[in-house]
A and B are shown apart, each in its own frame.
Chain A
Amino acid sequence: MPVSATSASPLAVHVRAVTKTFGTGEAAVPALKGVDFNARQGELLMIVGPSGCGKTTLLSVIAGTLNFDGGEIDVFGSPLHQMKPRAITEFRKRNVGFIFQQFNLIPTLSCIENVSVPLLINGASRREAEQKAETLLKQLGLPGRGRERPTNLSGGQQQRVAIARALVHEPRLVICDEPTSALDKDTGGHIMELLRDVARHPDRSVIVVTHDNRIFKYADRLTEMEDGRVQRVHGQGGNHDLSE
């Protein structure tokens, strides 16, 4: 049953004083300068801000695809700052679904095969995985296209396939970097509606990084970043500052 996140919802992602610097010495680029940030269960949270402010970097460290220098990150009870690389890989495998700007579907596999990938990585049988993938594609409005190569589909359809791939193994955290910037306004809107429905699920959280102000309205809350820090959090009927 769909639920909407409230300020009382339990925390899904908890980030405290996280720092990340790329490179060393002269060439060092501090991308995150002590980020504090929360995402709740059942909400769609957006991260916005000027180019280069560290949005993708923040998303990467939360997803466990990039290690960070200092601070603490807790995702659905997993303390990433204390975990070994192997355990983090395992964590990603079970708990994180990814949606990329360029869809990143494998062009030589059919849509069903693409969607099956996370299940196969998680050790499911091919039959089982493809059955689940097919069902999910149907639910996402792509019945009968499963055997086709993703390159035969439109951008919006490809992004639907990518969403199916991100959801098929029922991850608790869904991570999207610029999911609509390769799509036109209407298609992007449809995709965002879909993602908002995905987020209406207890025990799940969807985090979307975007530049695209046309889709801000789909956010439950909006986190504004600037120069490696979180500046402001909007949402839930008004502006909230960091002390919230």
Chain B
Amino acid sequence: MLLGDRAKYVMLVGGLTFATMLMTQQSAVFFGILKWTTSHLSNMRAKLWIVDRNVQQANELKALRDTDVNRVRSVTGVAWAMPIYVTIQSAKLADGNFKPIMLVGLDNTTLVGRPPVMLQGRLEDVRLPNSIILDDLGVQRLSVGRAKPLGLGDTFELNDKEARIVGICRADRHFFGYPYAYSTYTQALQFAPKQRKMLSLVLAEPAPGWTPERAAKQIEIETGMKAYTEDELFWSTIWWYFRNTGIPVAFISIIVLGFIVGTTISGQTFYAFVHENLRHLGALKAMGASNALLARMLLVQSLTVGFIGYGIGVLLVTAFGHAVLGRGEPPFMLPWQLPAATFAIVMGICCFSALLGIRKVWKVEPAVVFRG
């Protein structure tokens, strides 16, 4: 019946599409921002992450003692463990300004924690003196003021020391927008000013036959340090930002806004539809349609438009996601839970709208059909 009322139908589907897009899109951007907070994980990649006992998230590392690597290595259930030094250092631009970069020092021999994708140059060359591998964002940032962009073999000043670019890599962007640069552990110590403790974290691999969870537990028992599996650190980091920043408030207000927009448009349209058709609904009642039958009819119609509106909305959001995913800006992350939750909300809105109509239909007396 509703399907025949073109204007209302378009209005309903449009409203629900808009609500779906608003909720899914915005949430995906928030998730994307949150995902930036876990860039260390995707840029260093390891099954086990061992950090100071008080560390709750990947971007707030507390220095460990150099000897802690060996303590982790001696734990049963650990196949290998490698030191990582993570530090933020200033790179000098051609125009005299400074830009911060995230410098990652890798174990000299194994290069565990290496960049995920090499775009130019050879990873092994990072072992040469004063060498550095820079990500493409870094190339872009540090090329400011130069006649042509930085390339392989070019040098720049990193904390007053000369750094030579031997490779260009791709890396996920950091929450604070720092480019990533990789060098060997010993080289990183050279670039950075001397500190008492220079070990940021230990990356490790569980021994054969050990699950990451079990190995992590064992490391904690034997060393007293905090050992995360990749997954645990990912979610621990995300939740930390969720708890400690304004992101959730913005996030929830968007959901609420989407809900209000969706409910207002669809509830209102649906109610108007029922109101305008009261005569016909009354006639159906007179002809013997029970309340239950009419309720089912309204519900089916409402859920049908909900389905269509949701489908179009999610399709558009996914298309949008594909368009921006390649560029990474704005950030975008669409885990399956997100469309699933939106689906539940949209269906909830539709049930609610249908209910408004059903309540009205129930009150209609079949005798109204004889009134002029």
Identify the A interface with B (CB < 8 A). 56, 59-60, 63, 65-66, 86, 89-94, 96, 98, 100-102, 104, 106-109, 117-118, 121-122, 149, 177
Given A65-B367, A66-B367, also A106-B288 (CB < 8 A) = no
CB of A215 to closest CB in B, whole Å: 18
Docked-complex contact B4 and A89, CB < 8 angstroms: no
B287 touches A109 (CB 8 A): no
Residue of A56, A89, A102 near B290 (CB, 8 A) is A89
Is B1 interfacial (CB-CB < 8 Å)? yes
Question: B286 and A106: CB pair below 8 A?
Answer: no
Cα(A243)–Cα(B277), bound, Å: 45
Given known pairs A60-B367, A65-B369, A98-B283, the reply for A109 and B4 (CB within 8 Å) is: yes
Q: Is the CB of B366 within 8 A of A65?
A: yes
Bound CA span A125–B93, Å: 78
Contact indicator A108/B1 (Cβ below 8 Å): yes
Seen from chain B, the residues whose Cβ lies within 8 Å of a Cβ on chain A are 1-5, 277, 279-280, 283-290, 293, 365-367, 369-372
B288 touches A93 (CB 8 A): yes
CB contacts (< 8 Å) of A59 on chain B: these are: 370
Tell me which residues across on chain B come within 8 A of A65, comparing CB atoms: 285-286, 365-367, 369-370
Chain A residues closer than 8 Å to B1, beta-carbon distance = 106, 108-109
Minimum distance in angstroms from B120 CB to a CB of chain A: 64
Closest to B286 in A: A65
State A63–B370 Cα separation when bound (angstroms): 11
Q: A59 → chain B, closest Cβ, in Å?
A: 7
Nearest B residue to A106 by beta-carbon distance? B280
Chain A contacts of B371 at CB under 8 A? 56
Contact residues in A for B293 (Cβ distance below 8 Å): 121
CB proximity of A77 to chain B, nearest CB, Å: 17
Task: Report which of B286, B290, B365 forms a contact with A98, defined as CB distance below 8 A.
Answer: B286
A121 to B293, CA, bound (A): 8
Q: Verify B280–A104 contact, CB threshold 8 A.
A: yes
Chain B: minimal CB distance from A126 (Å): 13
Please give, as numbers and ranges, the residues of chain B lying within 8 Å of A98 by CB-CB distance.
Answer: 283, 286-287, 369
In the complex, are the beta carbons of A90 and B372 less than 8 A apart?
Answer: no
A-B pairs with lowest CB-CB distance, top 9:
A108-B4, A93-B288, A65-B366, A66-B367, A92-B288, A65-B367, A104-B283, A60-B367, A56-B370
**Complex Cα gap A77–B4 (Å):** 40
Nearest B-chain residue to A97, judged by Cβ? B287
**Which chain B residue has the least Cβ–Cβ distance from A65?**
B366
Chain B residues with CB under 8 Å of A96's CB are: 287-288
- Bound-state CA distance A107–B1 (Å) is 9
- Note all chain B residues with C-beta closer than 8 A to A118: 287-288
B3 & A108 in contact (Cβ 8 Å cutoff) = yes
> Complex formed: what's the CA distance from A222 to B372 in Å?
23
Q: How far is the CA of A1 from the CA of B280 in the complex (A)?
A: 35
CA distance A117 to B288 in the complex (A): 10
Inter-chain CA distance A225–B288, complex, in Å, is 28
Q: Does the CB pair A63–B286 fall under 8 Å?
A: yes
Please report the C-alpha to C-alpha distance between residue A107 and residue B2 in the assembled complex, in whole angstroms: 10
18 intermolecular pairs with C-beta atoms under 8 Å apart: A56-B371, A60-B370, A63-B286, A65-B286, A65-B366, A65-B367, A66-B367, A89-B290, A92-B287, A93-B287, A98-B369, A102-B279, A107-B4, A117-B284, A118-B287, A121-B288, A121-B289, A121-B293
Q: CA separation between A96 and B285, bound complex, in Å? A: 12
Find out whether the CB atom of B5 lies under 8 angstroms from the CB atom of A108: yes
Residue of B3, B289, B369 near A100 (CB, 8 A) is B369
> Contacts A108-B5, A109-B1, A177-B370: A89 and B288 contacting too (C-beta < 8 A)?
yes
Assembly CA distance A206 to B240 (angstroms): 76
Query: Which residues of the other chain, A, contact B283 by a CB distance below 8 angstroms?
Result: 98, 100, 104
**Docked pose: A94 CA to B288 CA in angstroms:** 8
Q: Shortest CB–CB separation between residue B301 and chain A, in angstroms? A: 11
B272 to chain A, nearest CB (A): 14
A73→B208 CA distance, assembly (Å)? 87
Please indicate which of the listed interface residues B288, B289, B293 has the most CB atoms of chain A within 10 Å of its own CB. Answer: B288
Per the bound structure, the CA–CA distance linking A60 and B5 in Å amounts to: 30
Q: Roughly how many angstroms separate A117 CA and B4 CA in the complex, as a whole number? A: 15
- How many angstroms from the CA of A93 to the CA of B292 in the assembled complex? 14
Query: Closest approach, in angstroms, between the C-beta of A186 and any C-beta of chain B?
Result: 23
Do A122 and B288 contact each other (CB < 8 Å), given the known contacts A65-B370, A106-B1? yes
Q: How far is the CB of A40 from chain B (nearest CB, A)?
A: 23
Q: Which residues of B contact A94 (CB under 8 A)?
A: 288
**Interfacial chain A residues near B365, Cβ < 8 Å:** 65-66
Shortest beta-carbon distance from B47 to chain A in Å: 58
Of the candidates B277, B283, B290, B365, the one having the most CB atoms from chain A within 10 angstroms of its own CB is B283
Q: In the assembled complex, which residues on chain A have CB atoms less than 8 Å from the CB atom of B369?
A: 65, 98, 100, 104
A106-B1, A108-B1, A109-B1 known; A90 vs B286 contact (CB < 8 Å)? no
A26 to B367 Cα, complex, angstroms:
23
